Structure 1
């Protein structure tokens, strides 16, 4: 963007500078779109964490899409014709160039990739509606992701179709040189990332751990009544190592850090003790033990 402004504001640029600058801007646009697509791939990767073949297929399509887009962009920019010094040159500032031939091919791979990602998100939403109440992360990803994919899909479609309409210069020139596709996708992706941070804060977790399969898949949990509290569903056949019996529910406060040796939390008169003890375990993961005294949900122990 900064380089684009420098080129536009420069007085009497040479033909060589204009040609290389426009080529550079086209290539950087493809790279920036690839970064946005990579973040989309990560979101859908999490949605299909149990189906490896879908994950690997997405990676393959992502690589093929960007290689083709980069190839078509370079080929189109090599045939670029400058308008500086012609009757279409309206001023002394910046570079003037004609519309590159067959430039619509640059957007076709992206259109196919976004169509696939949007379809996968819709399929996941339709097949897993019954578990949304117990999976807030999945619900948030599908809710925000569906709206985001629709915006990006509509934008990419308009860009691909508009770049093909050479007989309508008002549309064709706009989609080629305005960079609005990159702007809209960047804004939409920023909205998605802020949503993930908001969900992490609401659940009392860090953003790095929020999408961790280790944290989310090993236990069944739901959000508690209080802030930074989750309810872990458990079934224990007997006493634990500290001779305490557990019922069907255990209350964990995940607001603290991993470096805390002992943490006490009060939940409506319930005292929860959490300590990490790795002396009797060979696992690198910290061992979680609890002892509780009090009443929760009218259950006495």
Structure 2
């Protein structure tokens, strides 16, 4: 009959194998996305006017620490400077706190990684991840608030659908890991080290930002205008055949807004 020490060893080895597999898959996804979008990134984010969206995008790409949700809040509250400052300050404070805690508790953290105990919850991880959890919880609450206070144009989808779609997967993962009995979880480190949820979110948000920048560069408009539902509600557009596809009648937009979109043709597929 296996001893408790042998059982812990087998579980730790299994966890390490699964964690490595997920981490490699996440890294491959992010690297592949870098390769296929690097030319667009150079054209749209490495040149031109410097702004906060560029800083957040490059942070998402190269320093993926709590940046994705901060970027979403920044774009959602384009007209509220106080909330933008609060989101940016919370983001910086969260990164600083994580670095300080990681440096202070590095020895204990390293020992837990080298000699894990799968029969009890490693509280040292809770301390290191606490700033990130606070950051995600507060900023996610701001996003839910923005959705609930939006006009009817944004309320065409239900609150539940928006909650499920709007980056809730990170909180669901944290909640699921918290409710699981660690002694019965044979791949505990998969949820902590794999990074698949974060990697997929990074790729999705970066592609959305590239699309917004590309459209704004083509039409010579401010990216914030594209995210303003009050402005977009005055544009003549219809849904396309595919999911997320729209057709914009540019001549109608020109006659109503006076914008100069000569030579772009009509209709335009986005």
Q: TM class, shorter-chain normalised?
A: 0.5 to 0.7
SS at match of 1:46: helix
Which whole-Å deviations, capped at 9, do the CAs of 1:217-256 have from their partners, x for residues lacking one? 69664144694534448xxxxxxxxxxxx7xx357674xx
Match of 1:79 among 91, 108, 112: 108
Match of 1:97 among 115, 118, 121: 115
Instruction: Measure the CA separation in 2 of the matches of 1:59 and 1:208.
Output: 29
Which whole-Å deviations, capped at 9, do the CAs of 1:161-208 have from their partners, x for residues lacking one? 379x765563654444xx13x22111123123334555677xx54489
Instruction: Measure the CA separation in 1 of the matches of 2:266 and 2:185.
Output: 67
SS at match of 1:64: helix
State how 1:39-188 maps to structure 2 within 5 Å.
Answer: 39-80=68-109, 96-98=114-116, 102-132=124-154, 147-158=165-176, 161=178, 170=186, 172-176=188-192, 179-180=193-194, 182-188=195-201
Change (3 A) 1:167 1:77: farther
2:69/2:140 contact within 8 Å kept: no
Offset of 1:53 from its aligned partner? 1.2
Change (3 A) 1:171 1:232: same
State how 1:221-260 maps to structure 2 within 5 Å.
Answer: 221-224=234-237, 227-230=247-250, 231-232=252-253, 249=256, 254=261
Change (3 A) 1:107 1:56: same
Instruction: Measure the CA separation in 1 of the matches of 2:79 and 2:208.
Output: 24
Match of 2:203 among 179, 190, 197: 190
Match of 2:16 in 1: none
2:98/2:128 contact within 8 Å kept: yes
Structure 1, unmatched stretches of 5+, are 6-30, 84-94, 134-138, 234-245, 255-261, 268-301
Give the CA RMSD over aligned residues: 4.6
Q: Number of residue pairs matched?
A: 194
Offset of 1:131 from its aligned partner? 3.4
Change (3 A) 1:82 1:64: closer
Change (3 A) 1:209 1:114: farther
Using structure 2 for the length normalisation, give the TM-score.
0.53
1:219/1:232 contact within 8 Å kept: no
Match of 1:263 in 2: 263
Change (3 A) 1:158 1:232: same
Bigger Rg, structure 1 or 2: 1
Instruction: Measure the CA separation in 1 of the matches of 2:92 and 2:265.
Output: 48
1:162/1:175 contact within 8 Å kept: no
Using structure 1 for the length normalisation, give the TM-score.
0.48
Structure 2, unmatched stretches of 5+, are 1-18, 21-59, 239-245
Offset of 1:151 from its aligned partner? 0.6
Structure with higher RCO (Cα < 8 A, 6+ apart): 2
